[in-house]
Structure 1
């Protein structure tokens, strides 16, 4: 059974990430942990809510949050079709956001975190891109970022940006294979470069080798593409739009793809700007 952690702020976008998760894993046995963390979300540094005395979050917490959690359970029941292989646990706690995430990853052996982007709760702006970016870059767990209004309609065109300075081991490729279960999906290996000069022979060898290894792991068509762009996020976005892609997979090991090749770019920029669900895998 897959253990999935879904932080929630009860916003529409947060609920959409739950809906996306249920559709994505509709035939997979899962235990979904829905986590609400009562924190002050407007500051750049994390502070536990109880430091703010009569802060509105604290005043509304006991009764209002319980009601919101009950409403969330009803919402899940209404869209889950009561699948016997789906189990749900709601968690409410007060404290640090990332600390809570890390704690539950360890305690509940979480396989995947699913988060929405650009959400805002009725109590306080909380579930922002910064939060999902923090989880991607500061928490060691695979993370799926679901943009606002994204709907799961199966995978047809999947983009995998590649960094040939990073080794892709079998464990990482097996992770990709576990998510891409439909043989109808086309896997597009995307190499973004700043210069249009011909690729080095060793790079061409590496891309052919990676495509071959992926083809052995997946029953999918795999192709290699090169895009010239000053910034990797611009290259990914333009390619994704032209392809009408509906899923992006990124390997976040050491963040090599962004920090080594494109110094001024981070995985956060891509996750915040894209309108396509993005899966960040720990390599």
Structure 2
């Protein structure tokens, strides 16, 4: 059985992502592990030893009580979505969120990570925005990042951004398997700039390799790569943006951009990232 890791801070952003996790589990015969991570405070004032144990005990107790009170809410949400049949277990751990996620994926071999993200407000990054970007960059698992302003709907149209490189092929094949579980159409999108070196023979080879799949190729001439991708998402009413892991800067730009147009598009469309 496949395994899906669902990190949650029990916020509305996390609850929004939870439905995606449950639906993905339901469609791929997977189980969901809901992970809540808390961190101990950093204390550096004088006479710390006298108070440190009391402080840590208080934090641990408060974290456990918060966790215990929210676990039933996960069951209630699943029932409300009509997905109470999906196997879900819950885990509470102390530590750094990102490192805990990476260690769990490495040790327990999760296939997917589904996380909520709030992106950023002005110059201040939010907790899940930065954490999701870091997890996307550093894990081998497939990561589904769900913006808190998106509203769940059936995944019917997916865009995969590509440069038609050889290393894109395994990711696209995984995506097609993912899309098949939802009965979704996949559009392969390439933004052609003046410096692009795409050869017709390469495109023809890709068309041949994927001729039996439910796949459409789009080539757009533009110097604004990210802007063109986001405009394509809007004009084609795309439900999911899939991409191969790029440099950290690419994700940071998606999560931190202050441009109203880009933020408006990004705030509604989940991102599926392949390592």
Matches within 5 A, 1:51-66: 51-52=42-43, 61-66=59-64
Aligned to 2:232: 239
Q: In the alignment, is the contact (CA less than 8 A) between 1:271 and 1:278 conserved in 2?
A: no
Aligned to 1:262: none
Structure 1 pair 61–89 and aligned structure 2 pair: CA distance change class (3 A): farther
Return the alpha-carbon distance in structure 1 between the equivalents of residues 224 and 202 of structure 2. Answer: 22
The one of 196, 199, 215 equivalent to 1:203 is: 199
The one of 210, 228, 248 equivalent to 1:214 is: 210
Q: Secondary structure at the match of 2:163?
A: coil
Structure 1 pair 183–133 and aligned structure 2 pair: CA distance change class (3 A): closer
Aligned to 1:112: 112
Aligned to 2:250: 266
Note the residue ranges of structure 1 that are not aligned, 5 or more in a row. 40-48, 260-264
Return the alpha-carbon distance in structure 1 between the equivalents of residues 66 and 18 of structure 2. Answer: 15
Q: Secondary structure at the match of 1:280?
A: strand
Return the alpha-carbon distance in structure 1 between the equivalents of residues 56 and 233 of structure 2. Answer: 43
Shift in Å, 1:96: 2.2
Q: Does 1:176 align with 2:175?
A: yes
Structure 1 pair 126–244 and aligned structure 2 pair: CA distance change class (3 A): closer
Return the alpha-carbon distance in structure 2 between the equivalents of residues 27 and 101 of structure 1. Answer: 23
Return the alpha-carbon distance in structure 2 between the equivalents of residues 194 and 52 of structure 1. Answer: 52
Q: Structure 1, residues 1-37: CA drift from partner, whole Å, max 9, x if none?
A: 1111111111100111112211233243322122222
Q: Does 1:186 align with 2:189?
A: no
Structure 1 pair 177–60 and aligned structure 2 pair: CA distance change class (3 A): farther
Q: Secondary structure at the match of 2:199?
A: helix
Q: In the alignment, is the contact (CA less than 8 A) between 1:9 and 1:126 conserved in 2?
A: no
Matches within 5 A, 1:18-57: 18-39=18-39, 49-52=40-43
Shift in Å, 1:116: 0.7
TM-score normalised to structure 2 length: 0.78
Return the alpha-carbon distance in structure 2 between the equivalents of residues 205 and 100 of structure 1. Answer: 45
Q: Structure 1, residues 227-270: CA drift from partner, whole Å, max 9, x if none?
A: 33434221110111111111111112xx2xx69xxxxx513323
Aligned to 2:75: 77
Q: In the alignment, is the contact (CA less than 8 A) between 1:23 and 1:152 conserved in 2?
A: no
Structure 1 pair 161–277 and aligned structure 2 pair: CA distance change class (3 A): same
Structure 1 pair 270–208 and aligned structure 2 pair: CA distance change class (3 A): farther
Q: In the alignment, is the contact (CA less than 8 A) between 1:28 and 1:85 conserved in 2?
A: no
Return the alpha-carbon distance in structure 2 between the equivalents of residues 50 and 4 of structure 1. Answer: 29
Q: Structure 1, residues 170-224: CA drift from partner, whole Å, max 9, x if none?
A: x4343112210268533211111333x9x76x622322332343343x3x2x222
TM-score normalised to structure 1 length: 0.76
Structure 1 pair 24–76 and aligned structure 2 pair: CA distance change class (3 A): same
Structure 1 pair 75–212 and aligned structure 2 pair: CA distance change class (3 A): farther
Note the residue ranges of structure 2 that are not aligned, 5 or more in a row. 45-50, 257-262
Task: Name the Cα RMSD after superposition.
Answer: 3.1
